[in-house]
Chains A and B, each alone.
Chain A
Amino acid sequence: MMQPLRVLRSRTLVMPLANVDTDQIIPARFLTTTTNEGLGKQLFADWRYLPDGAPNPDFILNKAVARDCRILVAGRNFGCGSSREHAPWALVDYGIQAVVSTEIADIFSSNALKNGLLPVVVDEATAAWLIEHPGADVTIDVESATLALPTGASIAFPIEAFSRHCLLNGVDELGYLQSKLPDIERFEAERLCRH
C-alpha cells in the first residue's frame, strides 16, 4: 500500500534536458527483473556510471547537491517512450517523490501516480525559475494542488481528482475498481458476444 502524500518539502534536483525518455531513466537491460524493488541504484544508469561502473562525476546525481532531494525538476516531455513502470519504481526507490516539468508523458504520469510519485506540470515561467535556481527549497501541497517557491509565489498545478484522493489517503485504484464489479458484470451481460 502507498504511503499517503500530503505535503512535500524539499530542495530541488534540476535536470533541464528535454525529452528524457524512460530508456534513460532505466535502460531495458535492467528490465529482466521480476520484482519492483531495489531499482534506485539503476536510475539513469548510463548517465550516472562510467563504462567501468564508477560514478560519473559530471552527472548531477553524483554531486553533493543531489543528496536528499526529493523533488526532480525536469525538462519538457519527461518520461516519454516506453511504458515501463520500472521508471517510476526506480525514481521512487532512489527517493524522488515529485517530478516538476512543463510537460510529462501520459503513460509515465499514470504509472507515477500509482506509486506515490507526483507529476507536477507547471507553466514555462515557473519551470524557467526552477531551472535557474537549482536546490531551491520548494513545498508541494497535494490537497490544494499548489507548489510554493521560496519567493513566496504559489503556483497551482492540475491534478486528476481521483488520483489526488488516492495520494492523500494512501489508497490504490484497485479497491475502487473492485467495488464496481457489479457494474462490470452487468456490462458484460448486456454486451455478451459483441466481439
Chain B
Amino acid sequence: MTASTLFEKVWKQHEVVPETPATPAVLYIDLHLVHEVTSPQAFSLLRSLKLPVRRTDRTLATMDHSTPTLTDQVFGNVPITVDAAAKQVRQLEQNAADFGVELFGLRDARRGIVHVISPELGASRPGMTIVCGDSHTSTHGAFGALAFGIGSTEVGHVLATQCLLQRKPRCFAINVEGKLPPGVTAKDLILAIIGKVGVSGGTGHVLEYRGSTIRALSMDERMTICNMSIEAGARAGMVAPDEVTFAYLEGKPRAPQGADWDQSVAGWKTLASDPGARFDLSVDIDASALEPMITYGTNPGMVVPIGGSIPDSAGDAVQDKALGYMGFRGGEAMLGKPVNTVFIGSCTNGRLEDLEAAARVLKGRKVASGVHLLIVPGSQKIRRDAEAAGLADVFRAAGADWRESGCSMCLGMNGDTVGAGQYSLSTSNRNFEGRQGVGARTLLASPLTAAASAVRGRITDPRDFL
C-alpha cells in the first residue's frame, strides 16, 4: 500500500467510477446541503426534466442568505423588507414541499446558516463528501470530510443523481506548529495563512491543515480555519479527525449511536494522512510568532498584523485600486482608524465560542457612541445557547444589536447592509468591493478584535482588553 493523504482516502471511498483521460470521476455525495439562493434554478431543471430528487434522505435544506435577521420579520407579521428575498424564501418552501426535501424553514428552531447547522446536528461527519451551492462549504472539512462549493447546475446534478463529475484535485499541506499567543485566534491564523499562500495559491488543490497548532484547536476554531480555504483559492480544506472531533460529535442528534458509534469512530481513526504521504505543495507556519491580523484592502490576502501599516502600492494596479476604494494610503497605521459598523457573525465566526470571545471583551463595557455593533448568531440554537449563557445580556447591556440567525451583513442581500463609504469591521470572510453593501469598506478580523474596536470606535488591538 502506498501512503495516502486524508483527501485521497476520502476521495477513493467515493469513486463510483474512477476518472480516465477522457472522463472525470463520478463522485458520490453523502450529504447535499441546499439553501434558497442557489437552488431555485436547480429545482427548475428537475421540473423541466420531470426528475425527482433522487435521495431526499441525503438532502437537507435551510434558508439563511436572503432571510431577514430582525425578529419581527422572522417571527412577527411584519413583511420581509426585500421583496425578491421574500419570494426566494417562499420558492424554497414550495420546492421542498414538492420534492419531499427536509427543510428547516424560517421559523424552525433548527434553522441557521447552512454551514453552522449541519455540524451542530452531527450531520457533517468524518470521511463524508459534502456539497452545497456555496463556496464556504469548505467549513465542513474541519471534520475530515471532503466538502466543497458547487454551482447551481451541479446542485441540479446532485439532486438528480447524488453524484458529481469531478477531476481529482491535488494536495497542499499547511503545516502549523507552535502555540497561538493570547489574543491571537483561529481567525488570525487563517488570515495569516491566506496572506502567505495568496488568494489563488490554493487553486486546484485541497488544503490539509496539519500540525500541533491545529490539533490543539476546538471544532469551532477548526471550522473557522476550513471555512476560509476558498479565500486562498482552494477547492476544499480538511483537518484529520481526532479525539476533539469525536468528542464534539458524540451525542449530537444525527451522529451514530451505540454500536454504530463505536464502529464509525474506528473507521474515522483510519482517515488521517499516512506517514510519508505525498503532498504536491506545502507551507510551514509558526503560530507562536503570529499577532492579531486585519485586512486593509479588497481581498482577504491584503492583510497585516494589527500593529502594522499598509504596504506601499509600488505602482501595483490592484493595490492602487484597493487603497482608493478603501480611502487608505500606503504607509498608514491600521490601529486607531475609525470604524462605523462592527459585524460579529457569519459562517466564519458566528458560532458560540466566537460569541463568548466577543462577550469577554464587551462585558461591563459600552459600544462607542455612533458605532453600530451588529451581533448575529450562526443558528437559532446558538442564539438560544447564547441567551441561556447570559451572553445576549452582555451584548444588550453593551448597546449591541442582537439578532436572529442568518448570513446577515456578510453579504448585502437580506436588508442588513453597510452604507457607501462607511467602514465595517467584520468577522466575516470577504472584504470584496461592495460585498456588505454598495460602496461599503470592509475590514476583516477576529471576534476579539471586532469587539475591542466596537468599544473604542477605532481599530483596536484586542490584547488591550485581555
Q: How far apart are the CA atoms of A82 and B426 in the complex, in Å?
A: 17
B235 & A85 in contact (Cβ 8 Å cutoff): no
Residues of B within 8 A of A107 (CB): 135, 149-151, 230
Interface residues on B, range: 35 or more
The verdict on A24 contacting chain B, using a C-beta distance below 8 Å, is yes
User: Cα distance A46–B438 when bound, in Å?
Assistant: 7
Contacts A77-B200, A174-B157, A195-B128 given; indicate if A111 touches B435 (C-beta within 8 A).
no
Number of A-B contacts (CB under 8 A): 181
Chain A residues near B163 (CB-CB < 8 A): 177, 180, 184
CA–CA, A88 to B255, complex, Å? 38
**With A17-B318, A28-B411 in contact, is A80–B199 under 8 Å at CB?**
yes
B121-143 contacts to A (CB < 8 Å): 125, 127-128, 133-135
- Are A46 and B433 in touch, CB under 8 angstroms? yes
Within 8 A of B (CB), among A138-195: 160-162, 165, 172-174, 176-178, 180-181, 183-184, 187-188, 191, 194-195
> Across the two chains, which residue of chain A brings its CB closest to B43?
A34
Question: Residue B282 at the A interface, CB < 8 A?
Answer: no
Contacts of B165 in A (CB 8 A): 162, 173, 176-177
- Chain A residues with CB under 8 Å of B432's CB are 21, 23-24, 81
* B128 CB, min distance to chain A CBs, angstroms: 5
Report whether A32 and B23 are in contact in the complex, using a CB–CB cutoff of 8 Å.
Answer: no
A83 and B318 contacting across the interface, CB-CB below 8 Å: no
**Interface digits, B196-222 against A, CB 8 Å rule (1 contact, 0 not)?**
000110011000000000000000000
Within 8 Å of chain A (Cβ to Cβ): is B276?
no
Instruction: Say yes or no: A106 contacts B30, CB within 8 Å.
Output: no
Question: Contacts A21-B299, A28-B412, A31-B413; is A83 near B26 (CB within 8 Å)?
Answer: no
Within B36-57, the residues touching A (CB, 8 Å) are 37-38, 40-41, 44-45, 49
Q: Is A76 an interface residue (CB 8 A)?
A: yes
A48 at the interface (CB under 8 A from B): no
Most chain-A CB neighbours within 10 Å: which of B45, B85, B413?
Answer: B413
- Bits for B427-445, please: 1 = Cβ < 8 Å to A, else 0: 0001011110011000000
Q: Select one of B82, B318, B430, B435 contacting A32, CB under 8 A.
A: B82
**Are A177 and B161 in contact (CB-based, < 8 A)?**
yes
Stretch of B14-22, B98-106, B283-291, B397-405 with 4 or more beta carbons under 8 angstroms from chain A: B14-22
**Which residues on the B side are within 8 Å of A178 (C-beta)?**
160-161
Which A residues lie within 8 Å of B38 (CB)?
Answer: 83-85
A136 CB-CB contact with B under 8 Å:
no
Could you say which of A75, A84, A183 has the most chain B C-beta atoms within 10 Å of its C-beta? A84
Q: Which residues of B contact A (CB under 8 A)?
A: 13, 16-17, 21-24, 26, 28, 30, 37-38, 40-41, 44-45, 49, 65-66, 82, 84-85, 87-88, 91, 125, 127-128, 133-135, 149-154, 156-157, 160-165, 167, 169, 199-200, 203-204, 230-231, 233, 235, 264, 267, 299, 317-318, 321, 411-413, 420, 430, 432-435, 438-439
Q: List 12 A-B contacts (CB under 8 A).
A: A27-B434, A27-B438, A31-B37, A32-B37, A32-B85, A51-B439, A77-B203, A83-B133, A85-B41, A103-B200, A176-B23, A177-B163
